[in-house]
Amino acid sequence: MTAVAALAKYAPRYQLEVGAPEGDEWLRVDRILEPGSPELTELLKRDDEASNHRTAHANALSMLSFYAGRAPATALLLWALEGRVLDIRPQNLWVRPHEGHGIAAVAIRSATFLPGGLETLYDVVLRQHLLALSEELHQRTRAGLRQLHGGVAAGCAMGFCAATREEVTVRPEYLLDRWRTFSTKAPGGLARLGEVEIAAGKLVYLRNTCCLYYTSEVGKGTLCGSCCLTPRDERLTAYEGGRPILTV
């Protein structure tokens, strides 16, 4: 438990509550993944109310990008730093949504670890969870699987990138190497959907897909800093210059 709790010093997204939470505001992940689940309907509703999306598939892409940037973040950083796989199988994981975008808090049943390494991580983060969620969103909204997987890739990348951006940081060169190890053979073709680079001494993500947030009423044409609709060189220049950017 100490190793898990210590990760919160790197960024708020790594904060994790241990123990089965109480209260109707918490959603257990295995129930979110059930076909037609009201829990997933609630997550989509909150994201739509926050942004006023024009289409259901844009709503799905936006929600997934924010969700994937928070729900598995602690497990990804723990694997990157220690090589251990936290037991975040869907039946052991809860999320508490924000009023608008994304996830306010994450809880696990207990801070236990699974045997195995990278393949086990792929299983609990991707196959059992985020790729399964992508498939359910595809069935609900007809959002393209490549675009949905792009949101998964962007969210997972933030599990590595965020630890280089606060006052207490992990060396970016080290986490870049760990990201490349994770992404190279990741299910869902994540390696083809974007890349992590170092800019201004921090890790940044460059997407090859678009979440369509700019089409929402709130987005009003504003592109995310990582968006593929902006040329790659311009994105890196913006990151290097420290200009404000929207990230998951």
Asked if 83 and 60 count as a contact pair (C-beta separation under 8 A), the reply is no
> What pLDDT shows up at residue 125?
98
| Backbone φ/ψ region at 142: left (φ over 0), alpha (ψ -120 to 50), beta | left
pLDDT digits (tens, 9 = 90+) for 90-140: 999 999 998 878 899 999 999 999 999 999 999 999 999 999 999 999 999
Could you tell me where the DSSP H helices lie in the chain? 2-6, 29-32, 38-51, 56-68, 73-82, 118-121, 131-141, 145-161, 172-184, 232-241
Q: Estimate the crossing angle of helix 131-141 against helix 145-161, to 10 degrees.
A: 140
How do residues 73-90 score in pLDDT, each as one tens digit?
A: 999 999 999 999 999 999
Report how far residue 158's alpha carbon sits from residue 214's, in angstroms, rounded to the nearest whole number.
20
- Tokens read off for 67: 């969700």
Please give the Cα distance from 111 to 70 (Å, whole number): 17
The average confidence (pLDDT) of the chain is 94
Q: Tally the residues of the chain.
A: 248
Position 101: which residue type? Answer: H
pLDDT tops 60 at residue 248? no
Average pLDDT estimate for 8-18? 96
Strands 103-108 and 17-18: parallel
Q: Do 188 and 122 contact (CB within 8 A), yes or no? A: no
CA 16 to centroid of chain Cα atoms: 15
Q: How far apart are CA 16 and CA 224, in angstroms?
A: 27
pLDDT bracket for residue 1 (50, 70, 90): low
What pLDDT sits at residue 99?
Answer: 81
Task: Reply yes or no on whether the pLDDT at 245 is more than 60.
Answer: no
- Map out the domains of the chain with their CATH numbers: 2-191 (1.10.510)
Q: What is the pLDDT of residue 101?
A: 81
Taking residues 25-48, report their average pLDDT: 96
The pLDDT value recorded for residue 242 is: 64
pLDDT in tens, 126-178: 999 999 999 999 999 999 999 999 999 999 999 999 999 998 999 999 999 99
- 79 residue type, one letter: W
pLDDT tens by residue, 191-241: 999 999 999 999 999 999 999 989 998 888 888 889 999 999 999 999 988
